[in-house]
Amino acid sequence: MEETVIESTETDQDDEIAEVEEIEVEEVYEDVEVPFSVIENVPEYPGCEKGSNAQKRKCMSDKIAKFVQKKFNTDLVGDLGLSGKQRISVVFKIDKNGNVTGVCSRAPHPRLEKEAARVINLLPKMKPGRQRGRAVVVPYSLPITFLVQE
């Protein structure tokens, strides 16, 4: 049989209590992710610096859509023998420095996924999104849809 001794951690009234004058608390900021739809200050795409948050949000969405339309290699789709409406889902993050990171794409063909990721990685550096005055990581999802004409 094992015996455990339990000792009291309370002090007597006679014991002297040391005073703690100052405690230093160091704040550690984690890489917080704030969704694009609810962030206080949205990331700013070059050319979308003016206007309200809603206007900046719309401007950024429009500019990214135009950028993708311009840079996406649509000839690739015909080469793959796909027809009809094609949808590629792309998710990426705009980090605390305004860079595009963590690009993930899902498409009906691996070459389309690769092309979508290539185009998104070409996006220009942006002004990072801010929450409570601090730069934060902002996830962004982008559906790319197009119709293959035969």
Q: What is d(CA 137, CA 92) in angstroms, rounded to the nearest whole number?
A: 10
Quote the tokens at residue 110: 């691996």
CATH number corresponding to 53-148: 3.30.1150
- What is the reported pLDDT for 15? 67
- What is the reported pLDDT for 77? 73
Low-confidence ranges of the chain (pLDDT < 70): 11-13, 15-18, 20-21, 23, 25-31, 150
- What is the reported pLDDT for 101? 92
Domain boundaries, the chain: 53-148
- What is the reported pLDDT for 59? 92
Q: What is d(CA 115, CA 98) in angstroms, rounded to the nearest whole number?
A: 22
- What is the reported pLDDT for 53? 87
Type of residue at 135 = A
Contact 120, 100 (CB under 8 A): yes
Report the predicted TM-score, pTM, of the whole model to 2 decimal places.
0.73
- What is the reported pLDDT for 73? 83
Q: What is d(CA 65, CA 81) in angstroms, rounded to the nearest whole number?
A: 24
